[in-house]
Amino acid sequence: MGLEIPEGPFKAYLFDCDGTIADSMPLHYLAWNEALAPYGAHFPRNLFYAWAGIPVPKTVEMLGAELGLGLPPGPITEAREAAYLKRLPQITPIYEVKEQIELHFGRAPMAVVSGSPRASVIRTLRYLGLYEKFDVIVGGDDCPRGKPFPDPFLKAAALLEITPADCLVFEDGVLGIEAAVAAGMQYVRVPVSDENER
């Protein structure tokens, strides 16, 4: 894969979770469609990847508007999470990103900044054996405005007590990169395994 790391120095490192730390996006896609099936809905793959990083309830709202369906955010969010948890044993880390986490662990503070619910992020990190490496976790339910707004990254920087310009973000999603730039942070784009899906 090969990550292009900007020259530092940086005082903190912020990582998206799904598609960046964890190779979990294909599993999330399956979970979404399992949760949507009872409502006669299907999440088009191009929208799924384009909307990566948006908190789940907001995604349900946007998808309902896109498909012209009244989709209930609460039940679909719960069903999607249950469908994802069934697939958790299939998750693997993205090794180049895991190497960066290992490299900076104990040397600089690190945070995970995700559009997924905090509980889901924690379960994924624990499964991968990476939870203890992070000082802060900001989930999609921790900020009223998620990516592409800068709020989640700014919240993580504030909790780490690091100036945003001194943070480096690792991110696979277009909206996450937009959020990092809006927060005044440099970023590393993590390529997805199949760029054609973007």
The phi and psi torsions of 170 (rounded to 5 degrees) equal -105, 125
Active-site hit among 16, 18, 142, 151: 16
Which residue shows structure tokens 């999470």? 81
Judge contact between 180 and 53, C-beta under 8 A: no
**Residue 128 structure tokens:** 């991968």
Helix (H, G, I), strand (E, B) or coil at 113: strand
> How far is Cα 65 from Cα 93, in angstroms, rounded to an integer?
33
Which residue shows structure tokens 């790391």? 5
Q: Which residues, in sequence order, are bridge partners of residue 187?
A: 169
> How far is Cα 118 from Cα 98, in angstroms, rounded to an integer?
20
Q: Is 18 a catalytic residue?
A: no
> How far is Cα 60 from Cα 141, in angstroms, rounded to an integer?
14
Residues whose CB is less than 8 angstroms from the CB of residue 143 and which lie 6 or more positions away in sequence, other chains included: 149, 151, 152, 155
Determine the angle formed by the axes of helices 25-36 and 73-87, rounding to 10 degrees.
Answer: 130
Active site residues: 16
